[in-house]
């Protein structure tokens, strides 16, 4: 998840300082989260993913593979299409 947060921040061309400003955290804290040195509290994690346009829904464990497939197809829609 750390890598996905970093990738989404970079996709938006935001610095760590910009992301921190948007969620009310210092740049060093964002750096620590992205680097794995800081484990964010749940509410902090929720703030981070939401400001990046995501959410953290509760998914029944039995449905995790289905949700992962949906996410994969959303990211790479051409991979799910067969050539005619």
Nearest Cα to 2, choosing from 38, 55, 56, 47?
A: 38
Determine, yes or no, domain membership for 42. yes
The CB-side HSE value for 23 (13 A sphere, CA atoms) comes to 24
Cβ(8)–Cβ(18) below 8 Å = no
- pLDDT tens digits for range 42-69: 999 999 999 999 998 899 999 999 998 9
The answer to the question of residue 79 being in a domain is no
- The CATH number of the domain holding residue 34 is 1.10.260.40
Domain that holds residue 36: 2-57
Q: Tell me the backbone φ, ψ of residue 8, rounded to 5 degrees.
A: -70, -40
Q: Are 23 and 44 in contact (CB under 8 A)?
A: yes
Question: Would you say residue 84 has pLDDT above 70?
Answer: no
Is 53 inside any structural domain?
yes
pLDDT digits (tens, 9 = 90+) for 4-47: 999 999 999 999 999 999 999 999 999 999 999 999 999 999 99
User: Which pLDDT value is given to residue 75?
Assistant: 80
What is the number of structural domains in the chain?
Answer: 1
Specify if 73 maps to a domain. no
């Amino acid at each position: 998840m750390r890598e996905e947060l970093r990738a989404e921040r970079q996709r938006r061309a935001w610095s760590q300082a910009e992301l921190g400003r948007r969620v009310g955290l210092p740049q060093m804290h964002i750096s620590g989260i992205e680097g794995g040195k800081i484990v964010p509290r749940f509410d902090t994690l929720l703030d981070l993913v939401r400001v990046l346009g995501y959410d953290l829904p509760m998914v029944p464990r039995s449905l995790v593979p289905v949700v992962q497939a949906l996410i994969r197809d959303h990211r790479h829609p051409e991979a799910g299409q067969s050539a005619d």
